[in-house]
């Protein structure tokens, strides 16, 4: 059996979901792959950093409580960088809040982990758009992997499908609904709620943050467009370079107009190839029943790729949650190590 030590930065909803998933899937992964997955370090911004060389009790960690009293035998670290420095882990998971402006401190965390010869996995879009080339080059130099499947559409394999399953395909563009929060808000406004009521509902179920501006003003969607452009179009951009309009100005009157025209409002992410390069945008559009986006409801996401060999290839993820994001990170880890598995 191969023991795989994992340390994590960030223990919010997704981090806790990851711990629960490893606990639930532990025996299945052990039987299928011969992997002994151990979480040996966890750091948080507010509740400290703890490590355990032999691995935390997964059932206790899965309860979501991170403290030395609930995890006896644990060792405190000063901060995330000290945890990376002192932990002889195989994998570092970076799952701190996204920084749209610079990708920090996540970029520094991932850099340090790669320099310590750890594989790296992140659900954080910031490092992908601000340091993809740097982190990818460093990973190659160290003979390690830098993977980030959960950054766009949670557990759906958007990047790996294009990069690994579709060789020699040239992408001509894409369109998608990539922000779950805004799609949910627009759907509830269709049902008669005001914008403010729909936002409060999204906050009540954990889909929107206390400050929802990152979603409703289009920043989350723009950073996803930037990540897809950087990785799949070989066109590195930051979210600030994506044309961006959110849903804040959509009114009840706009909803009535769409209903009268038998259409729906959707926040559409788009990449269109032009003679001068790429036109990247995030903006609300009214779509009719002929559009593949018309039937995308609630928190679901959908992306449609256009290419030189496949006129249209769509991926739909229905009702994602922190659990699906956690699965994307787990899948990245298994894909790193299963190629080396002795059958």
Q: What confidence category does residue 343 fall into, taking pLDDT thresholds of 50, 70 and 90?
A: very low
Q: Which of 74, 82, 70, 32 is nearest to 50 (CA)?
A: 74
Give pTM, 2 decimals: 0.93
Helices (H), the chain: 13-33, 58-62, 80-86, 106-115, 125-142, 158-160, 180-190, 195-204, 213-216, 219-232, 252-260, 322-338
Residue bearing tokens 């992410």: 269
pLDDT surpasses 50 at 342: no
Q: Which of 42, 48, 45 is nearest to 19 (CA)?
A: 42
* Spatial CA neighbour of 148 closest among 334, 324, 273, 328: 328
User: pLDDT of 191-237, one tens digit each?
Assistant: 999 999 999 999 998 888 889 999 999 999 999 999 999 999 999 99
Work out the percent of the chain whose per-residue pLDDT is above 90.
85
Helices and strands in the chain: count of H runs, count of E runs: 12, 13
SS3 call for 276: coil
Sorted by where each starts, the structural domains of the chain and their CATH numbers stand as 2-155+323-338 (3.40.50.720), 165-319 (3.30.360.10)
* CA–CA distances in Å: residue 206 to residues 13, 59, 200: 9, 24, 10
How does pLDDT run across 67-118, given as a tens digit for each residue? 766 677 789 999 999 999 999 999 999 999 999 999 999 999 999 999 999 9
Bridge partners of 272, per DSSP, are 173, 279
Q: Which one, of 239, 237, 241, 294, lies nearest residue 263 by Cα?
A: 294
């Amino acid at each position: 059996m191969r023991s795989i030590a994992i340390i994590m930065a960030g223990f919010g909803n997704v981090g806790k979901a990851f711990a629960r998933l490893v606990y639930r899937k532990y025996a299945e992964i052990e039987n299928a792959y011969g992997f002994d997955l151990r979480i040996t370090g966890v750091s948080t911004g507010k509740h400290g950093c703890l490590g355990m060389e032999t691995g935390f009790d997964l059932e206790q960690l899965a309860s979501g409580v991170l403290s030395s009293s609930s995890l006896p035998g644990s060792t405190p670290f000063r901060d995330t960088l000290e945890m990376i420095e002192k932990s002889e882990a195989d994998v570092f998971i970076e799952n701190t809040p996204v920084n749209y402006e610079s990708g920090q401190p996540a970029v520094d965390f991932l850099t340090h982990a790669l320099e310590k010869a750890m594989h790296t996995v992140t659900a954080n879009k910031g490092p992908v758009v601000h340091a993809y080339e740097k982190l990818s080059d460093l990973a190659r130099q160290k003979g390690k992997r830098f993977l980030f499947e959960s950054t766009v559409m949670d557990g759906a394999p958007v990047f790996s499908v294009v990069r690994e399953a579709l060789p020699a395909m040239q992408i001509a563009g894409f369109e998608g609904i990539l922000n779950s929060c805004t799609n949910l808000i627009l759907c509830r406004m269709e049902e008669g709620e005001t914008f403010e009521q729909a936002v409060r509902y999204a906050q009540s179920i954990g889909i929107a943050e206390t400050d929802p501006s990152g979603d409703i003003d289009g920043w989350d969607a723009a950073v996803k467009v930037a990540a897809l452009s950087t990785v799949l179009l070989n066109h590195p951009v930051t979210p600030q370079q994506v044309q961006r309009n959110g849903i804040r100005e959509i009114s009840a009157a706009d909803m009535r107009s769409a209903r009268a025209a038998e259409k729906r409002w959707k926040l559409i992410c788009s990449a269109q190839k032009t003679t001068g390069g790429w036109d990247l945008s995030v903006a609300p559009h009214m779509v009719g029943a002929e559009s593949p986006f018309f039937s995308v409801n609630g928190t679901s996401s959908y992306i449609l790729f256009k290419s030189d060999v496949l006129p249209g290839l769509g991926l739909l993820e229905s009702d994602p949650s922190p659990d699906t994001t956690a699965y994307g990170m787990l899948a990245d880890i298994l894909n790193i190590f299963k190629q080396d598995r002795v059958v």
